[in-house]
Amino acid sequence: MSAAATEGTELRQRLIAVTAEVIAEEGPLAVRVDEVARRAGCSRATVYRHVADKDELVREVLVGRSAAIAERLEAELDDDADPADWVVEGLLRHAEAVRAEPWYQALERQGAAAAVARLGGGPEAVVGLAAPLVGRFLDRIAARGALRSDITVEQATEWLIGVHLSLLGPVFADRPRAHRAEMLRTFVAYALLEHP
């Protein structure tokens, strides 16, 4: 890698780290390109040479946090468990972990689930960004032969992301965990999985 490419990669990483600081202090909606540039010690023009817009920076930070949560949860999955349990517990634990994140709590006052869906390009962007995380989990289910043969991993990913966003909203977050688990098992897990 050339020195210029290395320098560009390092600056991009610094921009993402600075954005993470702003998000930790004030929430994702407070990110401003001027502030990111100031903290990173560069100009606005330099920021725009390395990223399309502030949403790209916010997206990078949130996807990184979500990936860390997903990796932790994936490591906790019991390989011998029923795939329905993977779906139910994976969704519930991930939603609980996201709701505990300071950036999410900052958004909660703004209607967090809708704000998360709007960040960085709308629902299509959210699906595209989450697909590698959810897809890895669904690939594991498909490898066991447990995903319905008439459903693609891509279709299941889009559906699970929509379900996940609904778990972040106040309607389902306020329901008892056992109720949410039963609803997920009945209307989500069983709909995606092969039945013996």
Whether residues 39 and 74 share a domain: the answer is no
Q: What is the pLDDT of residue 109?
A: 65
Asked whether 27 and 21 are in contact (CB, 8 A), the reply is: no
Pick the closest to residue 19 from 62, 45, 59, 57 (CA basis). 57
pLDDT along the chain (196 residues), means of 10: 73 94 86 95 94 88 81 80 88 84 73 56 59 75 90 84 79 85 93 85
Asked whether 100 and 69 are in contact (CB, 8 A), the reply is: no
Structure tokens at 12: 């991009």
Asked whether 117 and 165 are in contact (CB, 8 A), the reply is: yes
176 φψ region: left (φ > 0), alpha (ψ -120 to 50), beta (else): beta
Q: What is the CATH number of the domain that holds 46?
A: 1.10.10.60
Structure tokens at 70: 């997903």
Whether residues 63 and 143 share a domain: the answer is yes
Number of domains comprising the chain: 2
Last residue of a domain, one of 51, 75, 91: 51
Residues linked to residue 147 through DSSP beta bridges, in sequence order? 193
Whether residues 13 and 57 share a domain: the answer is no
Q: Which amino acid is at 118?
A: R
Whether residues 172 and 86 share a domain: the answer is yes
Asked whether 193 and 147 are in contact (CB, 8 A), the reply is: yes
Whether residues 90 and 163 share a domain: the answer is yes
Q: What is the pLDDT of residue 128?
A: 59
Whether residues 144 and 120 share a domain: the answer is yes
Tens of pLDDT, residues 72-126? 887 887 777 888 988 898 888 888 887 888 777 777 766 655 555 555 555 555 6
Whether residues 151 and 75 share a domain: the answer is yes
Asked whether 130 and 91 are in contact (CB, 8 A), the reply is: no
Q: What is the pLDDT of residue 196?
A: 67
Whether residues 116 and 45 share a domain: the answer is no
Q: Which amino acid is at 179?
A: H
Whether residues 79 and 175 share a domain: the answer is yes
Q: What is the pLDDT of residue 4?
A: 65
Domain containing 17: what range? 1-51
Asked whether 177 and 92 are in contact (CB, 8 A), the reply is: yes
Last residue of a domain, one of 51, 70, 91: 51
Using alpha carbons only, how large is the chain's radius of gyration in Å?
19
Asked whether 92 and 154 are in contact (CB, 8 A), the reply is: no
